[in-house]
Every structure is written in C-alpha cells, then in structure tokens.
Amino acid sequence: MRTLSTIAHKEGFSLPHTASISEAMACMLQNRNGSVVLLEDDRPAAILTEGMILDLLEENIDFDQKAIRFAKKPVITANCNRPIESAFDLVVTNNIRRLVLTDRKDRYVGMVLQDDLFGFLEEDVYKVDLKVADLLSSDAYIVTVSSSKTLYDALHLMRHAKVGSVVITDKNKAVGIITEKDILAAGYQHMDLQQNVKTLMSSPILSVNIDDAVTSVMAKMKERRIRRVLVHNTDGEMHALLTNRDIFKHIKGNVARMLEIKLRHAKEIMDLLPQAIIEIYDEPGHQVVHWINRKAREQFGDSILEHSPQELFGEAWDELYNTLMKENMIENFSALLQGRAFEFSGTVSKNINSRYIKLIAKDVTEHEYVKQQLKQEVHEENKLRQEQEYLMMQQSRLASMGEMIGHIAHQWRQPLAQLGGIFMNLESAQAFGELDEAYLKKKIAHGNEMIKYMSQTIDDFRLFFTPREHDQRFDVALAVEQAVKIVSAALDYHRIQLQIDMSPGRYYARSSGSEFAQVILNLLNNAKDALSEREHPREIRISLKHEDALNVLTFCDNGGGIALEILPDIFKPNVTTKQQNGGTGIGLYMSQLIIEQKLKGKIEASNSSEGACFVLKFPSA
C-alpha cells in the first residue's frame, strides 16, 4: 500500500508564520501551484492561496504585511501514512486543490496536489465511454473577457465570478486564457494592471469537443500539464471550461467502487496464500477479528471471527498489540496458539475513518522442533568437547608434573651435593680432631641455607601450579619471570643462554597469570628439548613490547626450527616433534586455548633462519 508521504512535495511549499505577503507570493510563484503553508513550531498554522492574494491585489494592500493576517481558509490536513486513495475523498469533499500532510504529532510533512493524484487514477475509476458532456452540469457557462480589456478588468471579473481563470475573446472567438497565477506573477513583479490582457494571456488555448472521451481529454491535460480545457459544443461554439476539479467531483463515487473491487480481488489472492492471514478491526480499547483467509480458517477455525483476538492469542496479545501501536509494524513475533508455535508479522493500516491490523502467521512448529533438536545436539557436542578438553588438560598436567619432577631434580642436585660435602667435612674433622664448636656452627649454618633454598624451591613450584582467579589484572613480565625461575636450573644444566628484553610493571593483561605462565613454561620446555640436541651456542630470546592496544611477546630459539610438514598443524592436539621422547602434543594445543580463549589473543608459530619463533598477541589491560 502506497501512502500519501510517497508522493508528497516536501520542499518549497512552506514558510514561517512570520512571512510577509511578498514572501508568500514569491513562494507560490516558485512552487507554481499558487499556495503556501505557514508554519508555527513546525505545525501548520494557516494556508494562503493565490485567490486570497488576488483579493489583496484588488484592494491594493501593502505586501510587506504579515501574510498570516489574511489567511482565511481552514487548513485541511491528512496523516502522511494514509493510503493515496483516501485523498480523493478529502479533496472533493472539501473542494480544495491541495492537501497538507502531517505526522502523528501534527508536524508538517509536505503537500499533495490535485495534479499529483491524477497520476494514480485508473480507467476503471471512470467509464471508458464517458464523454465530456457527462461531466458538465446543465447550467455550465464560461466567463470571458474581451481582448481589449486590462489585467485589472480580468482580475475584477475573476473575483466577482469566483473563478480561477477567464477566457480572452476577440470577435467571440477564444484567443487565449488568463489565470489567477498569471495575475499573481504580475502583482509580485509590480506590473501595471492597466496593461492589456494580451500581455499575459496563454495562447493558444487547448480546446476539446463536448463529445470527446474523458480518457483522451485527461491524457492531453497530463501531457500539457494544465488544469483546464475549453469545451466547444457540437456547433463549434464555446460552451464551458472543464477543470480537474470537475473530473474529481464526478469520480468520487467511482473511487469507492474501484477500491471495493480491488479489495475483493486482493482477498481472493490472499485466500490462495499458504500462510494464515488475520485482519483485525481496531479502535481504542476494542479489537475484533474482521476477516481471515482460507489458511487461517484451517488452522484456527471460523469461530475466531467477530471475536476479540485476545481469545486467540491469550496473554501474548497485549505485547503484540503494544508493539504494533508503538512501531506501526511487527516482525517475527513468537506466540504459542492452540498447541502450535507461530511467528507473526504485520502492519497497521489507517484508513479515513477506521484502522485495521493485518497479521501474517507462519507455522514454525516443525522448525522449532528441529531447532530444539539442533540445540540439544550442540549442547551435547559442547559437553563432549569440554570433557575431551578436560581430559587433555589432565593429560597435560600429568605431563607437566613429570617435567616438574625433572626441574626439581635439577634445582636440588647442587644443594644436595653441597649437603653431602658438609657431612663429609664434619666426619673428616671429627676423625682428625678438628671438629670444634665454631666449625660445627659454620657447617650447620651452611647446611641450613641449602635446606632453606630447597624448601623455597618447593614453595615456588607449589605456588606456580596453585589455581588463581581467572579474571584479574596481572603483570605479564612477572609471569614470564615465574616460568623462567622454574626451568632456570635445567637451562643452566644444558648451558642454554636466556636473553629477556622486558620490564616488570609496564605490561599488563587480564586473565589468569598462572595460566599465562604455564604457556611460557611450555614454550621454554619445548625450546630446551630442541636445544639440548644442538651444538653450542644454545640461545632463547624473549622480548615484550606494546603494539597499538596489544601486548606482543616474541619467543625465539636457535634450535633449528619446526619441520615444515608439521608447522601448519603445530597447535593441533596429538601433533608433536618429540615422538621419540614420549611427547604428547598437548602442550601447544593447551597454550593456544589459553591465549585465544582466555586472553582473547592470538598465538602464531613460524621458522626463522636459526630456529622456531612464536608470537603471542593479546589485549593490554
């Protein structure tokens, strides 16, 4: 359904209510329709037409005065969302040539002209064999003025006869026509109205015969963009002027007939549609099901007709109705009716004296069943994936525990050897009589330091694997240092040089610091294993920097790199470069999960000219 707003003139037809008569005349001449709406607070306050201006011309009024003082006609308005067909009745009933459009808050939207509506007339509005004579009343006459008369004479005659144009004659033959618009232009240009009418007349004047078909006359009027034609009788004499207004008056009744036919055809088509359609008559505080199509009868039964939609929709009706009143439409509104699931879409149609709600119902019961099934399958798949990830995590932890025992062994090897040396020294001193109190205290103090160091090592390892909060701000550099501390002894044992380029207190992220440290530990362990099989020198380089809003950590070694056939799948579970050493491939997979899911970042692997490189990018906090 096309609304009046789609054919409205939105510019050039309005002025502030403070505008002068001269400004109003300029606006009329520019829009070439002879009217202007005066606005106050964006709302139509008055309308001024060229007829009113001509009255002022005849009275020789000062055109610098405010135009609103002389606007006498009431403003006929219509809601811009009305269907175009509704304008025909308003234009004819109120005997006007233009319709002012407003929105729901009565604010000015634009103007629809009588000429615009002619473009939407169809031949079934008027009989194809209708003659011009059928449109003219029996007392039709024509107002003429001699070609020897002045513009003022033509103006006076128009105002006295209350017509919008006069035919100019010479020896009883029409030689031209002069309209209100012509006189308005002359007045605005301060022309002398005592000039001869020939100076402004339009010539030649379009003429038709009284027996011509209305269809052909309307086609000529549309082509020439004129509002009136001169009608000759069968004897070739001037008989009357035929205007757009005459045509509109005649077709008023036929418009209703045309709309009725179209409505009947539309409902016949809607009966063939596979969706249920419900039409509800609506007035404040009262709604009733007015019409349903064949599919709606099958699904809901005839009993819903002439009953409140509340009986069909139940509690869902209030929400649906309120949404319609607020948005003027609704899409995919879900409701459960008579044990089946439906989605409703529709609009509110506002006619001249009534309002209708049109709803299309889509039965989505099977769709909902399939959706619930799919949802259940997805839930089960996620549950299975989580269980698998849990098992992998446990497997990773077991593997890490084995590596940790190796790291503890490296950390304890030297202090255990020193403790053994202390005991041997004490035994030798006792054997040679050199064991005095001072010597004993010195060795005991030295032994206690070794024991304290070993105890601290246990605490470091225990705290490293203690679960912490998953959503907290942590120092990235400190987390790296914690991981390095765990493997430092193993790195020393394998004579691996570690270069770190970062400063604590400058780089932060939000997640679990211990989980991030676990990622670094995995990378360190992998690098250690790769480097232990290489000749010297053995190096690991770690650097951390800011890049836009990201922390970027680069981890590289000179261990020869990752095999090219494995590199694309390096983060997949069960992919490992250490099969001969019992590698599981879980470490890098879990590292990727932590970086991408927990830290919302990205981890990438590549080969440099010396070895493997890993780049970790994650948001800074």
So what's the pLDDT on residue 460?
A: 60
> What percentage of the chain has pLDDT greater than the value 90?
30
Tokens of 55: 């009255």
Q: Summarize pLDDT for 233-246 with one digit per residue, the tens.
A: 988 889 999 887 77
Q: Flag whether 103 is in a domain.
A: yes
Determine the straight-line distance between the first and last CA of the chain, rounded to whole angstroms. Answer: 54
Task: Provide the 10 A C-beta neighbour count for residue 435.
Answer: 16
Residues in the chain: 621
For residues 195 and 185, give the distance between their C-alpha atoms in angstroms, rounded to a whole number: 14
Q: What is the CATH number of the domain that holds 170?
A: 3.10.580.10
CA distance 476 to 504: 7
For residue 148, which of 201, 182, 204, 198 has the smallest C-alpha distance? 198
Instruction: Point out the domain boundary residue: 54, 87, 118.
Output: 118
Q: Judge if 473 and 621 occupy the same domain.
A: yes
CA triple 335-313-284, angle to 5 deg: 125
How many structural domains comprise the chain?
5
The pLDDT value given to residue 223: 84
Cα dihedral 422→425→431→432 (10° resolution): -150
What's the whole-number average pLDDT of the chain? Answer: 83
* Residue 29 pLDDT exceeds 50: yes
The model's confidence at residue 391, banded by pLDDT at 50, 70 and 90, is: low
pLDDT at 123 over 50: no
The domain boundary, picked from 98, 118, 138, lies at: 118
Out of 214-218, 281-285, 381-385, 457-461, least confident range: 457-461
Q: What is the CATH number of the domain that holds 541?
A: 3.30.565.10
- Give 165-178 pLDDT, tens digit per residue: 999 999 889 999 99
Give 18 or 494, the one with higher predicted confidence: 18
**Residue 92 in domain:** yes
Q: Under 8 Å CB-to-CB from 146, ≥6 apart: which residues?
A: 168, 169, 170
Please tell me which residue, 480 or 90, carries the higher pLDDT value.
Answer: 480
Q: Are residues 229 and 309 in the same domain?
A: no
293 shares a domain with 154: no
Let me know whether 440 and 473 are in one domain. Answer: no
265 lies in some domain: no
**Stronger pLDDT, 616 or 506, i.e. the higher one:** 616
Q: Is residue 557 part of a domain?
A: yes
Structure confidence at residue 260 (pLDDT): 54
pLDDT tens per residue, range 179-217: 988 888 888 888 889 999 999 898 888 999 999 988 888
Which of 121, 116, 135, 137 lies closest to 208 in space, CA to CA? 135
The CATH number that applies at residue 300 is 3.30.450.20
- Collapsed DSSP state (helix, strand, coil) of residue 159: helix
Ranges 117-121, 455-459, 474-478, 551-555, most confident: 551-555
Q: Residue 401 — pLDDT band, cuts 50, 70, 90?
A: low
Looking at the structure, do residues 210 and 290 belong to the same domain, yes or no? no
> Is 23 a domain residue?
yes
User: What pLDDT sits at residue 118?
Assistant: 66
Residue 109 lies in a domain: yes
512 pLDDT above the threshold of 90: no
Q: What is the pLDDT of residue 399?
A: 58
Q: Could you report the per-residue pLDDT of 244-267, keeping only the tens digit for each?
A: 777 766 665 555 555 555 566 667
pLDDT at 13: 94
Same domain, 104 and 127: no
- 620 and 484 in one domain? yes
Could you tell me if 504 and 383 lie in one domain?
Answer: no
Which of 394-403, 435-444, 579-588 is most confident? 435-444
Nearest Cα residue to 309 out of 272, 335, 327: 335
Last residue of a domain, one of 118, 134, 162: 118
Distance from C-alpha of 231 to C-alpha of 238, rounded to nearest angstrom = 6
Contacts of 597 (CB under 8 A, 6+ apart): none
pLDDT tens sequence across 334-361:
888 888 889 999 998 765 456 789 999 9
Quote the pLDDT of residue 222.
80
What string of H, E and C letters represents the secondary structure of 282-331? EECCEEEEEEECHHHHHHHCHHHCCCCCHHHHCCHHHHHHHHHHHHCEEE
pLDDT of residue 257: 54
* pTM over cut 0.75: no
Q: Would strands 14-16 and 35-40 be described as parallel, antiparallel, or unpaired?
A: parallel
From residue 15, give the alpha-carbon distance in Å to each of 64, 107, 169: 15, 14, 38
Q: Are residues 322 and 435 in the same domain?
A: no
Cβ neighbours of 545 (radius 10 Å): 13
Segments forming the whole domain that contains residue 334: 273-363
Residue 508 has pLDDT above 90, yes or no: yes
Do both 127 and 109 map to the same domain?
no
Indicate if 188 and 140 belong to the same structural domain: yes
The confidence score (pLDDT) of residue 226 equals 84
Q: Is 338 left (phi over 0), alpha (psi -120 to 50) or beta?
A: left
pLDDT (mean) for 352-381: 77
pLDDT of 282 over the 90 cut: no
Tokens 């008055």 sit on residue: 46
Q: What is the model's pLDDT at position 545?
A: 93
- Per-residue model confidence (pLDDT) at position 583: 46
- Domain shared by 520 and 588, yes or no: yes
Greatest mean pLDDT among 133-142, 298-307, 364-373, 609-618 lies in 609-618
> Burial code of 317-342, b = ≥16 C-beta within 10 A, e = fewer?
beebbeebeeeeebeebebebeeebb
